[in-house]
Structure formats: structure tokens, C-alpha cells
């Protein structure tokens, strides 16, 4: 993060432009958010969408902050036809979540993202008509015994991003929480979540059915951000968890955030003690998750327009374009990743296959040689891939009629296979290599 940006963000915080529950945050709560999400900046040449960023704070939270939170929460009781539920709202200026220009023009990337993901239902995605959802539950396994005790939902409203959190104080308030959730969901055309297609949506729909309530989230067009995250960044980052993406894509990391595995325990402690203040970290965790959904959506939409924004995603984008039949663009993106030294082994393998299919055998063999060089530089404990050796041997046998070189690559594959300790090749593969070597020796013996 540049010094100028740090200064501007710090001044914005000092002006109290981040708001909670309809009023400006006090210094203590603002400090909590500052400590929860700290920005380190993005090193690339072009800026990526940014989350609300702040300075790292290490001071402990005073006990009275929890009391203030509990008081504000108790003032937010919402009456529904099925009884009361607690509602807590945050209102954050969009300019504090992401630079205004980062949200401009994102609609141009919608069609591309829809095509790449094979999800025509999001083809008319509009940031102004999306409900971003995230749940905190009584267990991580799901199933009919799992309850949603905190429902976080966010949407754009003018120049602000609103996050509404519905809190179930006891199990008798579940129908009210679900009724309000279904009501709000019905006002939007699309849902955005992170792993919501597999977890949040089935869980909410199950609870709606068990409570005999109308409304099914599974029927609404849904962008689950875990899908593009895995398609573009699996193998690039250690994992594709939401907080990993915050750190790697937006240059943000959380300090003192409550682990997700601890959240069910904190809720049951609250049920025993009645002290809602113990759940303050859970509310903060949830609102930050919802905020990240907005900025991560903007990130993916911008990547669809300008892949150069993040060279680490070039390989994944190339594979997706190749999968959708645009092999010219796929080669271009994979070559760009290669030229920037961002290409993974998988990227190069796919690039070689694309060149082979297009008939450009000379470029394909360059890629096979690069893959072979990579394998020979790393430990044999990492396993062995015969593919590049076999492809190089095929090239010299069938395209160049150079049986000697083809045999060299086949023998090299057999040597590497014998030396491999981890993920040793199958006997079938070794047999195929032996058969190829025997055939090539015969061709050499009969060649003029």
C-alpha cells in the first residue's frame, strides 16, 4: 500500500465515515474494525479492488465495548409476523470498501464471467441488484440439526454498502429470522456467497422447509465465488479460503479474527450466560465476510475485462477460455503467464496441448522441453510425469523422423521413472515406455 493511500484511509477513519447500526462508530468499535482488517497493499502495477483498509491496532478491547454493543443490539429488535428477531445494521461508504472507479464498468465483465463459469443464470448480474449472504451457524457439518443463529446480508444502496445482521437470541426466534431472510432475499434478483451453493443455501432452505415457510434460495440465480476462486487460483495459493483471498488479492489480512471453528462454541456460551457481548467478535467476523464478497465480486468482474490486473490468474483464465472453445485467447493468456514467469506446471502442460492441437508442433515441443527441464530440476520425491517426454518423443518420431532424438527422450523418461520416489509410475506406464523404446530402436536399425 502506498504511503499516500495509507494517509487517505487513516484520515477517512478519523472523520468517522464508517457507520454502524445507523450511527457513526465510536472510537472503540472503530478500533476493533481497524485491528480486524489490516492492509498491506498490492504489489502489482495496476490497482485491484480494495476492501475497507485500516492501520493495525494492538490495544486490547475494553470490557465496556462489549456492554455498548449489547445495548445497541438490544435496541434493534425487529417485529415480524412470526415474532421478534434482533437486527443489527452497518452502513459503510462504498469509497471506504473499494475505490469508486473499481466498481465502475464491472457490468462489462458479467457476460464473460457467465460464459467462463458456464452459468447463464448470472448473465445479467448487476451489482446494484445483488444480495450478498453469509451465515454463522451452530455447527459446521450442516444437516437438519444445524441452525443459523446469525444471518448476514449485504447490498448496495446509493453510495453505501449496507450489511444487515439478523440474530437469533434463542431457538424460538428462528422462524422470525428465516421470515425476514426470505423477505429480503425476495427483493433481489441474484445471490452472491462463498461456498453458499454447497452450504449456506441448502441449510437455509432446509430450515425454511422445517419451519413450513415459503421461499427457496436455491431457485434464485446464484454466483458462488468459491467456484471462480478455485478455477483461477487453486495451486497458486496455499488454499482458497475467503481470508486467504482477502490477503492475496486485496492485500488485506485480519488480525485477531475469531476462527470459524470457534463460532458455534461462542454461541452456546452466550446461551448459557445471556451475555451478548461475547458474540461481538462473531458479528465483526460476519460483517467482514459479507464486505469481502462485494470486493471479491468486483475483482473477478474486472479480471474478465483486464486479465493483466493479476498475472497469477492468467493461467486459470487461459484454461477456462480453452474449455469454452476460445483456443486462440487461451494460448495468448497462457503465453502471457509464461512470459511473466507466472505459469505453473499445469499451465505449461495445457499450453503445449493447445499448440499441438493447433498444428504448431515447433512451439509445442518448446513447451515439452521446458516441462522436462522443470522435472529434472526438482526432487524425485515429488513424483514423475511422463507426458512431456512422450510428447517430445512423438514429435521427433512423427514430425521430424529423428528416431535417435525420440529414443533419447524415451530413455530419459525411463531413467526418471526409475529414480522417482514419490508417486512412482505404474507398471503399465513403464511397460508402454519400454515398448516405445524397443520400437524406436528397430526403426533406427532399419533407417538408412
Topology of domain 3-309 in CATH is: Nucleotidyltransferase; domain 5 (3.30.420)
Report residue 188: phi and psi, to 5°. -125, 155
Are the C-beta atoms of residues 125 and 223 closer than 8 Å to each other? yes
* Helix residue ranges per DSSP H, 196-235: 201-210, 226-233
Q: Which residues lie across from 19 on neighbouring strands?
A: 24, 91
Query: What are the boundaries of each domain within the chain?
Result: 3-309, 311-446
Report residue 242: phi and psi, to 5°. -60, -45
The Cα–Cα gap between 258 and 281 comes to 6
pLDDT tens, position by position, 198-256: 999 999 999 999 999 998 999 999 999 999 999 999 989 999 999 899 888 877 777 77
Q: Which residues lie across from 85 on neighbouring strands?
A: 78
Are the C-beta atoms of residues 136 and 263 closer than 8 Å to each other? yes
Q: What's the pLDDT band for 411 if we cut at 50, 70, 90? A: very high
Residue 69: is its pLDDT beyond 80?
no
Cα 10 to Cα 50, 57, 269, distances in angstroms: 15, 12, 36
Residue 422 confidence (pLDDT): 61
pLDDT tens, position by position, 332-379: 999 999 999 889 899 999 999 999 999 999 999 999 999 999 888 776
Q: Which residues lie across from 93 on neighbouring strands?
A: 160
Cα 46 to Cα 42, 50, 303, 309, 434, distances in angstroms: 9, 12, 11, 6, 51
* Domain range 311-446, its CATH number among 1.10.246.90, 3.30.420.340, 1.25.40.10, 3.40.50.1820: 1.25.40.10
The DSSP letter of residue 54 is B
Can you tell me the mean pLDDT for 38-45?
A: 33
58: left (phi over 0), alpha (psi -120 to 50) or beta: alpha
Are the C-beta atoms of residues 299 and 49 closer than 8 Å to each other? yes
pLDDT tens, position by position, 120-142: 999 999 988 999 999 999 987 76
Amino acid at each position: 500500500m502506498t504511503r499516500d493511500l495509507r494517509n487517505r484511509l487513516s484520515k477517512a477513519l478519523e472523520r468517522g465515515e464508517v457507520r454502524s447500526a445507523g450511527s457513526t462508530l465510536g472510537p472503540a468499535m472503530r478500533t476493533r474494525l481497524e485491528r480486524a482488517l489490516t492492509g498491506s497493499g498490492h504489489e502489482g502495477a495496476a490497482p485491484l479492488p480494495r476492501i475497507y483498509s485500516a492501520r493495525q491496532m494492538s490495544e486490547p478491547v475494553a470490557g465496556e465495548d462489549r456492554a455498548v454493543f449489547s445495548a445497541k443490539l438490544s435496541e434493534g429488535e425487529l417485529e415480524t409476523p412470526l415474532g421478534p428477531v434482533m437486527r443489527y445494521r452497518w452502513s459503510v461508504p462504498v469509497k471506504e470498501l473499494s475505490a469508486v472507479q473499481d466498481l465502475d464498468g464491472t457490468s462489462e465483465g458479467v457476460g464473460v464471467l457467465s460464459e467462463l463459469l458456464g452459468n447463464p443464470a448470472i448473465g445479467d448480474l448487476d451489482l446494484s441488484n445483488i444480495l450478498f449472504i453469509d451465515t454463522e451457524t451452530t455447527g459446521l457439518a450442516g444437516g437438519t440439526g444445524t441452525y443459523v443463529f446469525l444471518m448476514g446480508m449485504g447490498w448496495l444502496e446509493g453510495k453505501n454498502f449496507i450489511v444487515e445482521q439478523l440474530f437469533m437470541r434463542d431457538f424460538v426466534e428462528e422462524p422470525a429470522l428465516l421470515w425476514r431472510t426470505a423477505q429480503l432475499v425476495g427483493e433481489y434478483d441474484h445471490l452472491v456467497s462463498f461456498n453458499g451453493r454447497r452450504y449456506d443455501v441448502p441449510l437455509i432452505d432446509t430450515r425454511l422447509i422445517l419451519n413450513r415457510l415459503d421461499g427457496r434460495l436455491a431457485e434464485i440465480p446464484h454466483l458462488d465465488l468459491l467456484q471462480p476462486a478455485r478455477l483461477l487460483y487453486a495451486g497458486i495459493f496455499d488454499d482458497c479460503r475467503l481470508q486467504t483471498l482477502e490477503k492475496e488479492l486485496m492485500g488485506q489480512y485480519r488480525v485477531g479474527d475469531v476462527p470459524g471453528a470457534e463460532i458455534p462454541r461462542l454461541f452456546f456460551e452466550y446461551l448459557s450466560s445471556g451475555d451478548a457481548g461475547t458474540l461481538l467478535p462473531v458479528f465483526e467476523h460476519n460483517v467482514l465476510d459479507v464486505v469481502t464478497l462485494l470486493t471479491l465480486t468486483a475483482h473477478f468482474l474486472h479480471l474478465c475485462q483486464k486479465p493483466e490486473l493479476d498475472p497469477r490468474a492468467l493461467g486459470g483464465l487461459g484454461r477456462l477460455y480453452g474449455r469454452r472453445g476460445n483456443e486462440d485467447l487461451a494460448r495468448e493468456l497462457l503465453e502471457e503467464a509464461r512470459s511473466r514467469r507466472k505459469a505453473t506446471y499445469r499451465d505449461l502442460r495445457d499450453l503445449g496441448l493447445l499448440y499441438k492441437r493447433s498444428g504448431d508442433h515447433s512451439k509445442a515441443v518448446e513447451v515439452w522441453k521446458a516441462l522436462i527441464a522443470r522435472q529434472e530440476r526438482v526432487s524425485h520425491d515429488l513424483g514423475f510425469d511422463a507426458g512431456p517426454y512422450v510428447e517430445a518423443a512423438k514429435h521427433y518420431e512423427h514430425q521430424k523422423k529423428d528416431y535417435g532424438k525420440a529414443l533419447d527422450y524415451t530413455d530419459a523418461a525411463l531413467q526418471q521413472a526409475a529414480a522417482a520416489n514419490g508417486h512412482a509410475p505404474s507398471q503399465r506406464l513403464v511397460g508402454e515406455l519400454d515398448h516405445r523404446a524397443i520400437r524406436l530402436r528397430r526403426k533406427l536399425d532399419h533407417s538408412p
